Structure 1
């Protein structure tokens, strides 16, 4: 499926990955509707930062995936749906687990049901590598068991299984993309890379972090966005769960050293107990097997970790107004 000229809906379009996906869809000629979280300030998230020419080409609708009547109105008339809307912060899921069920499980069900009612031609549902929990073997392929090590990951497992059920029960044309750790411009300081960079740029010599030993598979946001596009375009992805990762792992401690070296700063790391997950909830190792997405779509990452970090550092340096380095961003 060529997305050029197609009517495409993106839920969660005001967020980090969603906003980059919007720009890419406009670039390839899609007719894009963006669902943003309703708020009384009429704030469109990162879409508010777009150039006017890009912003004017997007049909922006404020709503809530938890409300089925809203989702029905938004989905109607679209041929392709990228479903990214979700609560994603793991620490907050410990405080408000039910909010994650309502948004991630019930919200996903609303989107899928509306897509079924209006005969949407392709749905790309967004999962997360957190559904795997700590690796039982590496690299992690799509057959790896899923483990609910946090209320967040449990809610995403539920959402993934709902998507699977709609494919198997109703033949809904849904594919599930499972990104590993995406980073880049516009990511909030709740994530490790922007929190380290922003603290260093704020001339802090002691960087407050959580556990340094876990490993992650990091992917630059433009690579992740291209994976979304490829998964949507390919007929071979229907009914499939597909990892998006670099097939490379690095520990948090090694990552912090790499960032400080690129930035030319000597830092000390301070363990902040507030940033530690409960012991059994910490995901100790993530490393993606990306052979399936390569086989089905031809996708492969184009940005090295060093290149992606350099782009991210430059963006954060020019946008420090978005970062509050004196508080822990949950």
Structure 2
């Protein structure tokens, strides 16, 4: 299915992007990646890939807002996985213009290039944050969209652009809406690495809202959803949730991680980590029936197993983390 297929992955230096890139190479795809340029020639999480995998990847660097470099990156590919974005919600509070320009204009550039080069599929990445606090659960794809942060608003804009390109130009686009993905290589910007790193080395774990509930999906399951979205005929033109269909509060999650790490650390509310009240998303729980019906997808890694795998990886890479620092 993938052998010899020419594929572009944007945001390949990120957490999910690096896992997707690795899976595509292992499946036999001819993979080109687009990552953000920096003067250190840093490749982000791609550096965690084995040299036997990394040597097979063509790397293009630039800025997502630059239409010319995006056009060059897309040209010649059959499938485009668009994962590149600025994803930090706290970062979007501080730098809303950069987040909107990158996420909205960047997606626009991908869609234009996909249209102009007549790609066979664009898989665009959304986020469960576009739903805001759940008005009902489980959350299906018809749930109202609520821009409760500049980040979520930027992703709503990007999603609607993808929708418009399907309707206006018949661009074969699928929008995948991941719920909280986690696993090895994830930074402490996310809650599970934040909890695990502090539990391993500290007697105090600093957190924000303990009552918020989330739906966590292990990264290998999320990647399987992306790859299925690129091949399922009935997926074209649709928005599809990829989530476990199970929820857990942050406080309950912390207790599992304390047990997994044999930690006796105390949980402490850090006001710096608490979102503005109207911006806090209190509950996210995926209705994943469409993914099951259209993609043949379902999660396979339980939360306990996934946390165990993530804990082992973090334990081997603790030097990458600034323990206890609030990372936005």
TM-score norm. by structure 2 comes to 0.99
2:110 paired residue number: 111
1:4 paired residue number: 3
2:68 paired residue number: 69
1:274 paired residue number: 272
Whether the aligned pair in 2 keeps the contact of 1:3 and 1:233 (CA below 8 Å) is: no
Matches within 5 A, 1:149-298: 149-202=148-201, 204-298=202-296
Query: Residue 242 of structure 1: SS of its match in structure 2?
Result: strand
Whether the aligned pair in 1 keeps the contact of 2:212 and 2:281 (CA below 8 Å) is: yes
Whether the aligned pair in 1 keeps the contact of 2:225 and 2:242 (CA below 8 Å) is: yes
Give 5+ residue unaligned stretches, structure 2. none
Whether the aligned pair in 1 keeps the contact of 2:194 and 2:324 (CA below 8 Å) is: no
Residue 49 of structure 1 and its aligned partner are, at CA, apart by 2.2
Measured on the aligned residues, the alpha-carbon RMSD in Å equals 0.7
Give 5+ residue unaligned stretches, structure 1. none
Whether the aligned pair in 1 keeps the contact of 2:146 and 2:153 (CA below 8 Å) is: yes
In structure 2, the CA distance between the partners of 1:326 and 1:135, relative to structure 1 (3 Å rule), is closer
CA distance in 2, matches of 1:154, 1:256: 29
Query: Residue 280 of structure 1: SS of its match in structure 2?
Result: coil
Query: Residue 60 of structure 1: SS of its match in structure 2?
Result: strand
Q: Does 1:310 align with 2:275?
A: no
Q: CA-to-partner distance for each residue in 1:43-90, whole Å, 9 max, x for gaps?
A: 111112221111100001111111000101111000000000000000
CA distance in 2, matches of 1:3, 1:140: 32
CA distance in 2, matches of 1:99, 1:265: 39
Query: Residue 208 of structure 1: SS of its match in structure 2?
Result: strand
1:80 paired residue number: 79
Q: Does 1:17 align with 2:16?
A: yes
Q: Does 1:91 align with 2:110?
A: no
Query: Residue 233 of structure 1: SS of its match in structure 2?
Result: coil
CA distance in 1, matches of 2:111, 2:143: 25
Q: CA-to-partner distance for each residue in 1:80-108, whole Å, 9 max, x for gaps?
A: 00000000000010011111111000000
CA distance in 1, matches of 2:86, 2:273: 18
1:45 paired residue number: 44
Residue 4 of structure 1 and its aligned partner are, at CA, apart by 2.4
CA distance in 2, matches of 1:214, 1:308: 20
Give runs of ≥4 in structure 1 deviating > 3 Å: none
Give the number of equivalent residue pairs: 328
CA distance in 1, matches of 2:110, 2:120: 13
2:131 paired residue number: 132
Whether the aligned pair in 2 keeps the contact of 1:243 and 1:292 (CA below 8 Å) is: yes
Whether the aligned pair in 1 keeps the contact of 2:206 and 2:324 (CA below 8 Å) is: no
Residue 7 of structure 1 and its aligned partner are, at CA, apart by 0.2
Residue 167 of structure 1 and its aligned partner are, at CA, apart by 0.3
CA distance in 2, matches of 1:230, 1:33: 19
CA distance in 2, matches of 1:108, 1:79: 17
Residue 307 of structure 1 and its aligned partner are, at CA, apart by 0.3
Query: Residue 120 of structure 1: SS of its match in structure 2?
Result: coil
Query: Residue 61 of structure 1: SS of its match in structure 2?
Result: strand
